[in-house]
Amino acid sequence: MLPPRIHNAYLFQAFNAVSWQICLGSPLILFARELGASAVVLGLLAGLAPLTSVLQLAVAPHAERIGYRKLMVSGWSARVAMLIFLMLLPLATYLWKPAIVLSLLVAVMTAFTTLRGVATCAWMPWITALTPRSVRGLYLSRDRTFIGVASVAALAVSGVFLFDHDNMWSFSIVFGLSFLGGAVSLYFLNRIPEPETTDRAVAPLTRLRWRDLLRDAAFVRLLSFAAVVQLCVLSTATFITVFVREQVKLQDGAILWITAGAALVGIFGLRLLRSHIDGMGSRPFLGVVFLWWIFYYLAWFLLAAHLLDGEQILAPILLLAAGFFASIYELALTRLMMNTVGDRPGATQYFALQSVIVSLLAGLSPIMWGWMLDNLDRVRLVLGRLTLDSYAIFFGVQWLLLGAVFVALMRVKEGDAAATKTLLYRALVRAPGRHFASITHRPRT
């Protein structure tokens, strides 16, 4: 059974999502691109939040002593205050050159993500301590549903304002919405209860050596999989946005509406998982997501290589479907991490180490991929009748790197989980069969 007052966590996540979907998502990237940012700078902006998460290693051993709520509220309050400066930056373009404003943007986002990095280590152990093991999948599905609904609203409204991306006032208004969302989220953050396990009399504080965590085989296997996925798959979102803007020729507002639609599709995915993931386990759902990635990157490669027509239709379909599978991946991985290390001594350090390693890769890999795209900008590789440009090569490399993801996935274990083929059979054969039988065998009246 879910604990009382847990709805405050849902509402915090919802309003927080309104904030970060704008200030760390597509609107930020589109604004930077409007200022003339190169692919490397875009990669830097996309990587700042993950890179500054390394600060968790310094704070995590003291999080229980400080108190989860106190640490989160302090960090999040200072973080939200930085959004005032972000809100003013688009208006600064009327006074200063775009290069100066772009430099200030990087500085503001560096301060913002630094404050986030200090506080964020408290969130996952806080929620894990509050939520019983048997209902963590249920909690996460509801949590992600609130995030999804808020993301749809934030991106849809942003899309309205940014349909004409030449208007800097529009960017200022959108970043103002980010500030308001963050400010409201603080109210609900303060109303989330502290877990009883933070009481010293109940559970003494545990501080482990970092190298001891890397001797935990189950944790290391899961960490390795998450890291490889981050490096080879998740770091491409920024450049997919640029690709559909500059080569598919979708408008900024349309991109944001599609992103909102992807979040809405993700909510549907969470609804499907709500009654299944605690029973079947996370592992089979990760397998299904991997099969999607094989198709996903092959499709982007074919579009970039101009081997498929109708990119104005296919690109939005791919982005919408990606929202469905992204929600499944994030929920399945988070649940598996909670169940693997959430009940162990030093859980805060486990979560912090996982977050830092994966986040460092998330921060560095967009810079690396951005450098690759910048250097391939004028490359045309001819293979017979096939001519490959920078994005076709980029997506082709991503598809090939899925081999490393497959190896890492095969090493992930979950003792009580069903097989991926069992999930596919139930979803594609048994469930449709039952539905068809219920229709054809209805009693006549």
Note every long-range contact of 413-422, with CB atoms under 8 Å and residues 24 or more positions apart, other chains counting. 413/218, 413/221, 413/283, 414/281, 414/282, 414/283, 414/336, 416/281, 417/280, 417/281, 417/282, 417/283, 417/284, 418/280, 418/281, 418/283, 418/284, 419/284, 420/283, 420/284, 420/287, 420/288, 422/280, 422/284
Give the rounded distance of the alpha carbon of 33 from its chain centre: 21
- Six-digit token string for 246: 């500059």
CA distance 313 to 240: 15
Kindly report, residue by residue over 119-130, the tens digit of the pLDDT: 888 888 888 888
CA distance 222 to 358: 11
CA distance 332 to 240: 24
- pLDDT at residue 197 above 70? no
CA distance 360 to 366: 10
Task: Write the single-letter amino acid at 337.
Answer: M
- Six-digit token string for 365: 């890999």
Q: How many CA atoms lie within 13 A of 295 on its CB side?
A: 11
Q: What is the DSSP string of 114-169?
A: HHHHHHGGGHHHHHHHHS-GGGHHHHHHHHHHHHHHHHHHHHHHHHHHTSSTT-HH
R_g of the chain, CA atoms, integer Å: 22
Question: What residues have CB less than 8 Å from 332, skipping those under 6 apart?
Answer: 273, 277, 282, 283, 285, 286, 289
pTM: 0.72
Give the pLDDT score at 125: 82
Partnered with residue 383 across adjacent β-strands are 386
Percent of the chain with pLDDT over 90: 17
Which has the closest alpha carbon to 270: 319, 342, 332, 321? 332
Q: Which fold has domain 7-193+210-431?
A: Growth Hormone; Chain: A; (1.20.1250)
- pLDDT at residue 203 above 70? no
CA distance 89 to 87: 6
pLDDT tier for residue 188 given thresholds of 50, 70 and 90: very high
* Most confident residue range from 218-222, 231-235, 379-383: 218-222
Which has the closest alpha carbon to 403: 217, 222, 228, 227? 228
- Higher local confidence (pLDDT), 306 or 345: 306
Query: Sign of the CA dihedral 51, 57, 62, 64?
Result: positive
Say if CB 216 and CB 39 are below 8 A apart: no
Kindly report, residue by residue over 410-421, the tens digit of the pLDDT: 998 887 777 777
> From the CB of residue 363, how many other CB atoms can be counted at a distance below 10 Å?
23
Give the pLDDT score at 67: 78
Instruction: Decide: helix, strand or coil at residue 365.
Output: helix
Strands (E), 14-109: none
- Six-digit token string for 102: 């772009």
CA distance 318 to 299: 8
Q: Where are the domains of the chain?
A: 7-193+210-431
- pLDDT at residue 198 above 70? no
Three-state secondary structure of 321-353: HHHHHHHHHHHHHHHHHHHHHCCCCCHHHHHHH
pLDDT tier for residue 435 given thresholds of 50, 70 and 90: low
Give the pLDDT score at 200: 40
Q: Alpha helix (H) ranges present in 199-251?
A: 210-213, 217-232, 237-246
- Six-digit token string for 186: 């603080």
Weakest-pLDDT range from 72-76, 156-160, 289-293, 311-315: 156-160
Instruction: Decide: helix, strand or coil at residue 384.
Output: coil
